[in-house]
Amino acid sequence: MPAPDLDRKEETKPAGIPLRIHQIRDGLTTNRLGKHIHYFREVDSTNSHARRLAEQRTPEGEVVIAESQTHGRGRLGRPWVSPPYVNLYLSVILRPTLPPIDAPQITLMAAVALAESLAAFIPVFPAIKWPNDILAGGKKLAGILTESACHGERVDFVILGIGVNINYPVESMPDAIRQRATSMLGLTGASVSRENVVRRLIQGLDRCYGELEEMGFQALAPRWEARFELRGKKVRVEMTDRIIIGTAKGIDRDGALILEDGRGELQRIVAGDVVPVGD
């Protein structure tokens, strides 16, 4: 049976300047990522769309980009605010050779690639907030959502989703995020070429993913640690079932956060939200 046409585009007129996909492709020198870009004016979520493609055996490295998302999401089904024509909403299909237990390393790898790529466009040092946020000047500039599908002891695919606030005026952000979020426009006071951001990001991801696959996360760990600003700081970690307060020590090789609790015991946290105490 032929695959349904997942690339069907809407016919409505754009209400902003669309991304020039050919400008992103031109000059892209990657080994695996971005050879094919599926581009949409609007999708439910680029992660959901990429998952549908991956389930139809779409090969590794294909990228989904949308100008807006009707159901953009973060972790635990939280919404990702996705206005049209100003930001980046991108998902990449990966088929890593890592065992499922190491799949969280994809998020860590992506955080390194994302922070380093964004650094070229803003005047402040992008920091990593474990596990999946990029902060600039203490505010959220970008987020990562990785979703994996496993087959027994093997990772079938990982959808790596990235949202970056680029030319999104801080004043037009909804109240729910305005105090804690920022954008490149907010940081620089000027519009940034979205094409340049996307091209640099795909290049950075391609390089970091190659290093992860060939050498393991140890090769990237020093770069991750260099951007982990909460090391040694007192933090509150909110999990679905409990809250722990302690001192952030770093991450272990599986990407878990190591926290020293009030009794001096080390706690290993695999999922949760970290909030600096005193915030």
Question: Measuring CA to CA, which residue among 161, 180, 167 is closest to residue 49?
Answer: 161
When the beta carbons of 50 and 212 are compared against ligand BT5, the nearer one is 50
CB of 175 to ligand BT5, least distance (A): 11
- Closest CB to ligand BT5 among residues 44, 213: 44
Is the bond leading into 131 cis (omega within 30 degrees of zero)?
yes
Instruction: Write the CB contacts of 137 (distance below 8 Å, at least 6 apart in sequence).
Output: 124, 182, 187
- Smallest separation, CB 26 to ligand BT5 (Å): 23
Closest separation in Å from C-beta 191 to ligand BT5: 17
**Binding residues vs ligand BT5 (CB under 6 A):** 45-47, 69, 72-75, 78, 80-81, 89-91, 132-133, 140, 143-145, 161-163, 165, 177, 181
Q: Choose between 241 and 265: whose C-beta lies nearer to ligand BT5.
A: 241
Q: Which runs of E-coded beta strand occur in 99-191?
A: 127-129, 133-136, 139-151, 154-164
Q: CB of 41 within 8 A of CB of 19?
A: no
Task: Report the chain's C-alpha Rg in angstroms.
Answer: 18
Question: Smaller CB distance to ligand BT5: residue 97 or 172?
Answer: 172
Q: Is 128 helix (H, G, I), strand (E, B) or coil?
A: strand
Nearer to ligand BT5, 44 or 102 (CB): 44
Q: How far is the CB of 20 from ligand BT5 (least distance, A)?
A: 19
**Chain centroid, CA 263 distance in Å:** 34
Of 8, 37, 33, give the one whose Cα is nearest residue 23. 37
Q: Are 141 and 126 contacting, i.e. CB atoms less than 8 angstroms apart?
A: yes
CB atoms within 10 A of CB 127: 19
Least separation, in Å, of the C-beta of 160 and ligand BT5?
9
For the bound state, the minimum distance from the C-beta of residue 12 to ligand BT5, rounded and expressed in Å, comes to 21
- 29 vs 240, which CB is nearer to ligand BT5? 240
> Residue 86 corresponds to which tokens in the numbers above?
């100003």
